[in-house]
Each structure stands twice: as structure tokens, then as C-alpha cells.
Structure 1
């Protein structure tokens, strides 16, 4: 204990030690725990040892009663030993069945040992009785009517050790349960439809806008940035869904490595950067449309490309900064399996989380305010030149609704969690992750690009250049 210079323990370090019941390796730097000689250990203490990320098979500790460990997910091994080490679990079950069936062939009592065996012969799953006696249990296949006789089936024996009774701390909790990454089976399937929509829709928009021969205007430039951010959100979902499939049924055995060795950090950076950049760009697009409608009679008063580039540069700096802070100790991505910054250990963590929520809430209010203003202006105007702006304003209503659907649940549950009163556990928060969190990433490419006439024109012209839909493409030339 308290030996930070201890980094390696030999495979036979504990072999041959008699009356070895307590082992304390807390606050060390070991990365591997040998189990040779630990079969009689009753208390295992390895607290504050983050370097030990892979816990050995619990079947190696057949006498253990108490375990005080570093990671919550390591205690899941005692709840589900068959998932942590399925090979050893199957072997022990097979050994138990074999021993039971072998014992069935010697089902005699002292009083009948000299009598010939006239009982029927059973197969490997035959039924026999366990009759209690003063000296252990005697197996018998001779019918009797004693009330202390129990029927069992040969072949249903398993390991006698009930590891779920081991007192293990820290206990898995609402934010780090022993479940798979996606939790619900139906959610595991649905997430693939969501991520394919986000990846496919935004990739099409990026390709069409960047390959179109028409001039790159400010709206197209902003839309490219928005689609890129939403595409990254799809990549985040793809990473989460892939890890879920890869570790299906045994996630808790890999949870520590996934959440602390870089995987969660990459996923977390992607999702925070994507969400913040998406919100920022969406706000700029909304304000650009509002300014265009408000200053419709002043043709020269429009957002210039240079100004748009400066705004996007600031947006990228902001999104990158917010995504990098958890990598430098402000909150953190490794607190939960879905790699969102939900850790609130100190004041700075709480300030960070609340700052994210305030920015997104402010952006939503700006978008809503601009939409209301645009709607009132086009409603009061009879100018036919503004008919397209009216269509855009109606589309903005849908965009405001999608923003509300996306961020209202996140903001509400995020605020309650940041103040220490979470109203939802990590299992149900995954529903928010799949249904609400990426909602904008799926809707934006359709509402802002794919459903517009200009995009359809650029799309079919692009297909026509490669020999597809030539008739339709010629109509737009």
C-alpha cells in the first residue's frame, strides 16, 4: 500500500504463501494483478490505483468476501462473472455437471451397499434424489416417501460460489451501470438509422455544394460549415454504435479502457465540437436571413464573404475551445459510457456545463426572435419580391421547432444534473442521445439544402456531368 514505485508484480509473487487472506495494493502503479496463490484471499483492496484497468477473472478468487477497488465497472465482474470470463464459467459448469453425473453412478447407502443395484440407469440428464443424513448428503435412486428428500436433475450443477454476494465497492451507479453501451436492444437498432441519416444527408450536401460550378455564395459557405458540423455528429454516433456492437454483452469488462484510454476522449471531442459549431453556424445563418429580409430594399447591405469567413473562424475557435477543455481537466469525457461532459466534481466543472447550456439557450432565443421578426415583416409586406423570403421564414419555423426538440430536453436534464439533482439515469439519457441530441444533424441538411430548389438544380447538374439523369439536368441548364 502507498507504494507508487510498485509497477510490476511477478506472476508467482504470491505463490506458496500460507494463510494469505488479505491483500492491499492500494495507491500503487500496477497494471497487472497475478492470481497465482490468491485462491484463499478473502479481502482484496486495490483502491486509488487507476493504472489497473483490466481486472482478473473473479473465478480466481474462490474464497473472496470483500473487494475494495478503484473502478465501478470492476465490481460488475462479481455481479456477472459468466460475462467477464465466459470460458471459465462454462468450464466450471461443465465440471459441476460431470461431477454430479459421476456421483449418480455411486448412489448407495451404507445399509444397501451389499445389495445388487436394481435401480434404473439414467443418462447424463437423469433424475435422482438427495437425501439428508447425519454425515453429508447421500445420493439415492430408490423411491421413498421421506419429506427431507429433494429431486434434482443431473447436468444442472454450476459453480457453488455466489459471487454476487461479495461486498464490492465502489458500487455501479446510475451513471456507470453494468449494462451494454446502448442499453436497450431497440435503441441499438434505431441508432444506426439515425447515424446513417446524419452521415448520408450531410455528406450529399457537402459534395454537391463543393462541386457545384456556380459561385460559392455566403449562404452556401455557411451551409457547408453547418453540414460539416452535423456530419461530425454522425461520426460520433457511428463510433458509439460500433463500440456497442464490438463489446456487446461484455462492455463492462472493457469500459475502463474505453472511457479512459482515448476512445471516449475522441468521441467526446467530436460531439461537443460538432454540436457547438452547429449551433453557432445555425445562429449565423438565421441572422443572415433576418438581415437580408430586414434590409431588403438595400441590396448592398448583405453579409459579405469576408465577414462570413471571420464569423466562421470565431465559431471554429469557440467550438474547439469548448471541446478541448474537458481534455485538460475541466469536467471530462470519461465519466459516462456515451462520452458526454457530465462530470461535475468542482466549481469549474459546473461553470463549464452551465456555460454550454447558456450558450445553446441564448442561441435558441436569438433564432426564435429572428424568426418572429422575419415572419412579422413578410406578413406585413405585399412585395412579390419577398415571396422567397416568406417561404424561408416558414421553413425557419420548422427549424425553430427542431432546435427546441433538440435542446429543450438536454438543457432541462443537464441543469438538474449540474446542480446535483439528476432526474434521469444514464440508461434513459441514451434515449435523449439517440432521439433528441442528433435531431438537428438529421434535419438540417434537408431543411436548409436538400429541399430547396437551388440545391436540386446543383444536384441534378452534378449527376448530369457523370451521365446520370441527363434529361432532368438539361432542364436546369
Structure 2
């Protein structure tokens, strides 16, 4: 029955993959991709400057000039947001300390101590501990440096005699008050540095004589308000720096109307909470406005309408959650817009429609739920766009440069960014499909199988086969989208194809985990509690398996039940697997954490302790028997148990650790996600057929028989003809006379005298003597012959069935001690010492154990323990 089920599963999944691949090819070839109106190149390509030649996106800004005019390597850096970079340069570079020729020459007479003169007409009084502005310096001084002193008040007419000053530096003093006429007479001043002081307010008309001032630095003070006509007279002011103050409100008439030439205004790190129309009244000539890192929570309608000449607007690092749809309506000249690091979750679809000249847009740090192609449709000149996640780049396929340009899984060009992953996905998928298909067919063909065990193994293979189908679909999508992935990324991730593909991956992972957990628990109970009455028959096993499949389907299908909560649960990345490492708190994150940190890690823990418990029980039993093969047999079980636990651990421990790290916001390499999905997650699906079937005795015997029956079988020596090997042996014990149940020998035994020994039991003798040949493996002389080989990983036989005819002895003398989990019959071994030789007696009873024999507790331990 299950062979048919597995075949149907494989056919349906393959058919689905074929249909999806065919549909995808049609989509790529015939679908009309999104491009802004008038875009000169086909999708996935960009023009070589102003020419009509188009070039693939991957060849732009790659360090190699592919265009004849070299345009593909020009403008690769985003210089449209030049305000921030230029501002940093101005602050770092000490323009006034630049050493031009004649730096040591002073032409000023009588420069008072402690000041000194250089560069002909510059006077340096910085860091001299002054409490007042010096008044006896030469009147011909052009640049005066009085920074790093202890001046607290700038008195009226402190500079009235210095009419030739073009630069005055008063920064890093403790200035608290500047009297109204303090700067009287400075009619030629161009740069005034008042930053890093303790100013709280400025008197009106303080700068009325500074008609030529172009740069005014007031940053890093304590200014809270700007009074009307504070900047009266600053007709030539170009740059006003008010960063890191305590300004909470602005009125346009307080500065813009008095500064008609103002182009650049810095208001970063203040306490502005609201933007409204009156704040920027009269600021039509302003080109750069920086409001970074304030406390702005709202932008009223038409608040920015007067900023018609603005080219660079920075609203990053605020608390804006909603932006009106007409906020940027009148900003046709805007080149750079930075909205990053705001709690914006939704953007109006026509928000950017008026920004026809926009070339740089920063939306980094925003987690948006309504992104679409429509949002960026009219941004024809957009060259640079920045998102918090790579998956958003799919909404702007016409933009030449999108950052980040990969999430570790995909890139702008390919669904699988890494070349190794592109090849590995096919290799792993084919291995999974071939291995699991062969096991399903093999276990269907073998009629003498333990039916319960085989039922579980075939279902496990069917589940693992689905994982192979999942990888084949991902590989086919990667092939079809090669070099143009970003153009169709959102279409793919939002499609039903991606959702069903993710459903396959989740279904396979969860059914495999649940099956392995149940099999491990059942095997643990059978080994540790061998005399329990209840053991699952075929019907009960089928019921359990059906429940597991229903649970797996339910767990994988729940994300389809609520789009409001789960959102695009399976489409968060190109491989459609909902591990959610890049966006740990996105839609449905609680459910993802429940699956991977709850169910799967708990299952791993149960499996781990079940196999540890089994090994401890087996080891204790063998120690009590004191068999010469105990150590070798324990090593065999230890190796098989180790590989079973290791494969489960290699899958779920890394996934659990990285999922936990993601939830704690620890940095995780983007490339790890791809390796997890392509390599780590399918480990169980690829290795399960080997651990649970292909290396077991049943399969190796079947293959051996096929080889022996083949006309190409190798020539080998015939076995001795001393009675031959009989398929069934019946004997009676020397003490009870009870007949032993018939048993079958291992089919396909080999005649290797150097690695085999024989044991026989005489019907008339209660004891049989064990001989120890040179090779150190005991033999027993008698009539009934049982051959066994050295223990190895593949010498562990299948689980005995509840049905008597399926009870099969395995290799080794310890197998005679095997007790079927489903029968009341008990076989024991007693060991005695006679003249330096061991004597072995086999005794069989229906209910009781002879007192002088040690009970064998390790039922089915020489069976295929790896199977359950």
C-alpha cells in the first residue's frame, strides 16, 4: 500500500514541478515586466550613459568598462546625498590651519602676548586661558582665533575696531551670553564659529552688521528658541549650522525671511516634534535641509510645500509613522530623499509621484507591508535606492543600484547567488530523490520484511522525497530566472508557486521530524521494557502514521489561513522557506519560532535521550552476560546510534542556535541562510535512506542475492558440503526437551573461515563446548551450525516482526539471546567454566527463566535499532 502511496506522491510532486517550470518559462517569455514609461532598455539592462546601447545590470559598476564610452563605470557612487559627506569634510578639515606659502611671516605690528601672529595677518590666541576677548590686537588682522578659552560673555563692541576680519573663531569657550552689539563693526566677516559653547538664546539684531557673512556655526549649544529677527542682516548667509541644540519649534519668519541667500540649513539632533507649513515660510531658495535625529512624530499636510527649490532632504532617525500623500508634491527639484530609520510601515502609493528628478532614495530600516511597483513607477531618474532588506529590491527593478544587493541567498541577477549553491541544489536533490525512491521500491518488493517497521521506513522515505522535490523546484526556478532574477523576484515570491513550494519544504521537515521522534520512542520502549504487552501492529502503525501526516499538513498549511497575521509567510525569501533569520520579528514570527524552537528542537531532545537510554540499557545487559563479543557489539551499536543522533543534531542544532540568535538581534551572516536551506536542512533527507535501509543487513542481503543471480556475478569458492546451510533448523534442548522454534539463517552468508566461526548444538548433550581458534572467535562443536561474522555497521539485522515466521536470527552468538518484542517466548544463555573452556547451554521456556541463568534483557538489540 505504501509503495503505491510513495509512487503517487512522487508522480504528483514531479508533475507539479513540471507544470510550475512550464508556467514559469511562459511567464518569463511572455509577461510584460514592470518598467517606467519611456525606459530605453529592456528589463534587466541599463543604458550606457546617453547612448542607445544597453548593458546588463550585473556589468554596471563591476570595475570593467564594457560600454565603449565607459559610462557603465561612471557615477557608481551616490553623490546626490552630498550634503552629509561635504558637511563631514568641512568639520574635519581645518581650513584655517592650512599652511600656505609665507606661513611664518607676520606683517602685523605689536601683537600682544600671549597671542602670536603667522600667515602675515592671522592672530592666534587659542588655548591661552583668556576670560575676555582681547582688545589690543592690530586692526589689520584678517583672521582671529580665540577658541579653547574661558570666555563666558561677549561684550558689546568687542570687535568694533576689527573691520577687516573675514574669519572669527570663538568655538569651545564657555560663552553663555552674546550682547546685542557684540559684533558691531564686523562688516567684512565671512565665517563665524560659535559652536561648542553654552548659548541658550540669541538677541534680535545680534548679526545686523554682518551683511557679508556666508557661514555661521551655532552647533553644539543649548539654544531652545529662535526669536523673530535673530538673523536680521544676514543677507549673504549661505550655510547655517544649528545641529545638536534644543530647538523644539521653528517659525519661517525667524530666519528664512531675513536670510534670502540661505541654501543649506543643518537642524540635526534637536527636539523638533512636528513639521507644519509656517516653519519653512519664505524658504523657497533652500536647497539642503537636514532634520536627522530629531523627535518628529508627524508631518502635517502641505508642511513642505514652500520648499520648492529643495534638492536634498534628510528626515532619517525620527519617529514619523505616517507621511501624507501630498508631502512631496511641490518638490520637483528634489534629488535626494532620506526617510530611513523611521517606524513607517505603509507608504501612500502616490507619495513619490511628483519627484520626477529624484536620483537617490533611502528607505533603509523601514519594514513596510504595502510595497509595490506602483510606488516607484514615476521615479524615472532614480539611480540609487536603499532598503533594509534585499527582498524589497524586487519592487524597483528599473533602478541601477539597489542596496543591499544580496541577502546571502539571492542576488539582483540570480535566485541562488553562489555558484556552488547553484550546482549543489541539483546534486543534493537528485541524491535525495534517488536514495529515497530506491528504498521505497526495495521495501515494497521485499515480501519477508517486518511489515510495521517497513511501513514507517517507507513513509519516512516519502517525506524525505518531498524535500528532494522542493529542492528540484528551487533549482529549476534559479535556472529560469538566471541573470534576470530581480526583475521577477516579487512576482515569484508572492506567487502561489512559491507558497506551495514552501509548503512542500515545511511538510517534509515536520513529517520527518515527527516520524523519527515516534520511531525513536517506540524503539526505546521496546528495548528498555521488552516484556510490555502492547506493541503496534500494522493497523495501529498505519493510524499513527496517518495522524503524523495530518499533523504535518496542518502545521504547513496554517500560514495560509490568515493573510493578516502571516502576510507573505513563505515568500519572505527566494527559496520560500520560512526560517525568517533576516526578519526575525516579521509577520508570523511567533509561529515560526514555535515550529523551529518548539516542536523541532523538542523532538531532537527526545530522540537524543531515547538513543542514549537504549545504548545504556544494551550496554548493561551485555556486561551482565560477559560475552566475549559484548565489546565489539557495543561498538557496533554505538557507531550506528552516533550517526543517527549526529545527523539529527547537524540539522536542528545549527537551525535552533541561529533562530535564537536572530530573535536576540545578534548579527547573522546572510549567506548562512542559503547554506542552511540547501545543505543543512536536507541532511536527514539524504542520509536517512542510508542509515535506515541501504546499510542494513536486509538490503545488503538483497543486493547480494541479486548479484549471485546475475550472469555477471563474480566467481567465488563454494561452501563446504558438510550438511550445507539449511534454511530452517529445529532442535531440542538437553534439559527440557522442548523444541526450539524454527528459524531462518541469514540469507547470503559467506564462507570466510578467517572471519567466521560456527556453533552447533547436539540434541543429546546438555552442554556444547566452545573452541577458540587462532582468530579468537569462538566456535561450538555439534550438529546445528550457525555462522556469524565480525560485527560492523551493516551487521545489525532488521527488527523482528510480531509474526512468528518473520523472526530472523542475525549474525553473532548473542543473537540467540534475542527475544521478540511481540512474543512471550524467552531464550536465555547460561555460561559455565569447565577446564578453562566455556560451555554454552540454550534453554527455552514459555513463561519462566531458570534461576541460575542471567536473563537477556536486550530484546531486539541485535535488530535494526536504527529503524525505530
The CA deviation at 1:185 is 1.0
* 8 A contact 2:662–2:668 mirrored in 1: yes
Structure 1 residues 239 and 468, CA, compared in 2 at 3 Å: closer, same or farther?
farther
Report the equivalent of 1:377: 617
1:180·1:252 contact (CA, 8 Å) conserved in 2? Answer: yes
How much does 1:344 deviate? 4.5
Which deviates further from its counterpart, 432-441 or 268-277? 432-441
Query: Is 1:266 the equivalent of 2:510?
Result: no
**Correspondence 1:72 to 2:393:** yes
1:181-220 to 2 correspondence within 5 Å? 181-215=415-449, 217-220=451-454
Is the alpha carbon distance of 1:411 and 1:12 closer, same or farther for their aligned partners in structure 2, counting shifts above 3 Å? closer
Once residues 338 and 222 of structure 1 are traced to their aligned partners in structure 2, the CA distance between those partners, rounded to angstroms, is 29
User: How much has 1:51 moved relative to structure 2?
Assistant: 6.3
Equivalent residue, structure 1, for 2:592: 352
Offset, 1:240: 1.0
Q: Deviations over 1:71-98 (max 9, x none)?
A: 422335423xxxxxxxxxxxxxxxxxxx
CA distance in 2: counterparts of 1:446 and 1:233, whole angstroms: 16
Structure 2 residue aligned with 1:327, among 555, 560, 568? 560
Kept in 1: contact 2:648–2:684 (CA 8 A): yes
Shift of 1:237: 1.1
Inter-partner Cα distance in structure 2 for 1:388 and 1:301? 28
Structure showing greater Rg: 2
Equivalent-residue separation in structure 2 for 1:346 and 1:64 (angstroms): 28
In structure 1, C-alpha distance between the alignment counterparts of 2:686 and 2:385, rounded to whole Å: 46
Is 1:434 the counterpart of 2:749 in the alignment? no
2:661 corresponds, among 387, 396, 416, to: 416
Instruction: Compute the displacement of 1:416 (Å).
Output: 1.9
Within 5 A, what are the aligned runs for 1:211-250? 211-215=445-449, 217-250=451-484
State the Cα deviation string for residues 93-127 of structure 1 (Å, max 9, x = none).
Answer: xxxxxxxxxxxxxxxxxxxxxxxxxxxxxxxxxxx
Report the CA distance between 1:227 and its aligned residue.
0.7
Q: Which has the higher strand share?
A: 2
* Separation in structure 1 between the aligned mates of residue 439 and residue 658 of structure 2, nearest angstrom: 32
Shift, 1:422, TM fit: 4.6
CA distance in 2, matches of 1:195, 1:219: 26
1:214 deviation in Å?
2.6
Q: Distance in 2 between matches of 1:230 and 1:438?
A: 8
| Mapped pair 1:303 → 2:529 | no
In structure 1, the partner of 2:698 is 454
In structure 2, what is the Cα distance between the partners aligned to 1:229 and 1:360?
15
* Alpha-carbon displacement from aligned partner over 1:25-61 (angstroms, at most 9, x marks no partner): x7569xxxxxxxx9x942499x9766649998x9x93
Q: Which residue of 2 aligns with 1:340?
A: 577
Deviates more, 1:206-215 or 1:47-56: 47-56
Distance 1:243 1:465, change over 3 A: farther
Counterparts of 1:282 and 1:388 in 2: how far apart (Å)? 24
In the superposition, the TM-score normalised over structure 2's length comes to 0.36
In structure 2, the CA distance between the partners of 1:259 and 1:65, relative to structure 1 (3 Å rule), is closer
Aligned partners of 1:474, 1:216: CA distance in 2, in Å?
16
Cα 1:436–1:308 change in 2 (3 A) is same
Higher RCO by CA contacts (8 Å cutoff, separation 6 or greater): 1
Report the Cα distance in structure 2 between the residues aligned to 1:302 and 1:49, rounded to whole angstroms.
Answer: 55
Change (3 A) 1:348 1:246: closer
- Cα distance in 2 between the residues matched to 1:444 and 1:433: 17
Aligned pair count reads 359
**Contact 1:230-1:441 within 8 A present in 2 as well:** yes
Deviation track 1:389-444 (CA, whole Å, cap 9, x = no partner) reads 9855641221101111111111111122234445232x332122222111111111
**Alpha carbons 1:265, 1:334 under 8 Å: kept:** yes
| Aligned-partner Cα distance in 1 for 2:664–2:449 | 49
